[in-house]
Amino acid sequence: MRDITDIADVKRRFLAHLTMEKGMSRNTAAAYGDDVDKLTRYLADAGIAVESASTDDLERFICDLQDVGIQPRSQARIISGVKSFYKFLRLEGHMDCDPTELLLTPKIGRHLPEVLTIAEIDAMIECIDMSKAEGQRNRAIIETLYGCGLRVSELVTLRLSQLFLDERYVIIQGKGNKQRLVPISPVAIDQINLYLEQTRSRQVAQRGCEDILFLNRRGAMLTRQMIFHIVKQLCELAGIKKAVSPHTLRHSFATHLLEGGANLRAIQQMLGHESITTTEIYVHIDRTRLRDEILSHHPRNNN
């Protein structure tokens, strides 16, 4: 077993391992890095070397997270980062055994995400100011987010070379650099084509963004924050009071497919979920909506 002499260097190699060998996005790897920072600060304050920490030490670290008010969902993510870190330390020869093997993850109640109705999505689209220069772009963005069920990171990095509009599908580069084919609706195709003709073809893309589909006024790739702003603004204009983000359109896409009779496995493939259990949450949403409809409209509940 090799002692750790430079924890900062170990952390750099750990983050490189996550991105280059595990295929994690930079954002996910950075979150894991923050989790490791929390752990190393805790162990340093307790006078415990990282490579000497026991399962009991790590359980006390988790209890400390609870004491400062960190919620179970966030605790679970931190534990996931810590487990990945110790697996890496063992791989690097710094540990003979993994103290996280017996570390328990807190139980997390199933959280049903917010979903928009079709009428609410239509209302958002109606609120787009088509007289503005970015109007057609924003219309194409909303139609693509909802019509393909994309993650916001997948939308902002979507390339012209990934569009096969005549064949009615797009190639999406998802988590872990995994590619998937996603059908695209005729409405979304029409709006993208209008955007390409009216706006995109007249823009000068910045270096490195020549193949990016959606650009800002300066010809650069849009940020995730900009997409969030566009969605929030349209919701406010449409009078939608729900807590909405770009991901809400993805949830709505999946829920509406399920309500329309789509196969759960097909929805899993279109969303790019590695596990079917992740997709199954939409079954719970569908059942919850059905229950609410019954409670709202059954004659015995209208007294």
- Which are the catalytic amino acids? 151, 175, 247, 250, 273, 282
Structure tokens at 114: 């917010």
Looking from the CA of 120 toward its CB, the CA atoms found within 13 Å total 20
**CB-based contact 35:78 (threshold 8 Å):** yes
| DSSP assigned state of 159 | B
| DSSP assigned state of 248 | H
3-state DSSP assignment of residue 253: helix
Residue type (1 letter), 180: R
Nearest to 71 by CA among 35, 112, 39, 107: 107
Region for residue 221 given its phi and psi (left: phi exceeds 0; alpha: psi -120 to 50; beta: otherwise): beta
Residue type (1 letter), 283: V
Structure tokens at 50: 């990282």
Structure tokens at 65: 């997270």
**CB-based contact 124:235 (threshold 8 Å):** yes
Nearest to 26 by CA among 36, 16, 12: 16
Give the list of residues 6+ apart from residue 31 with CB closer than 8 angstroms, or none.
Answer: 77, 81
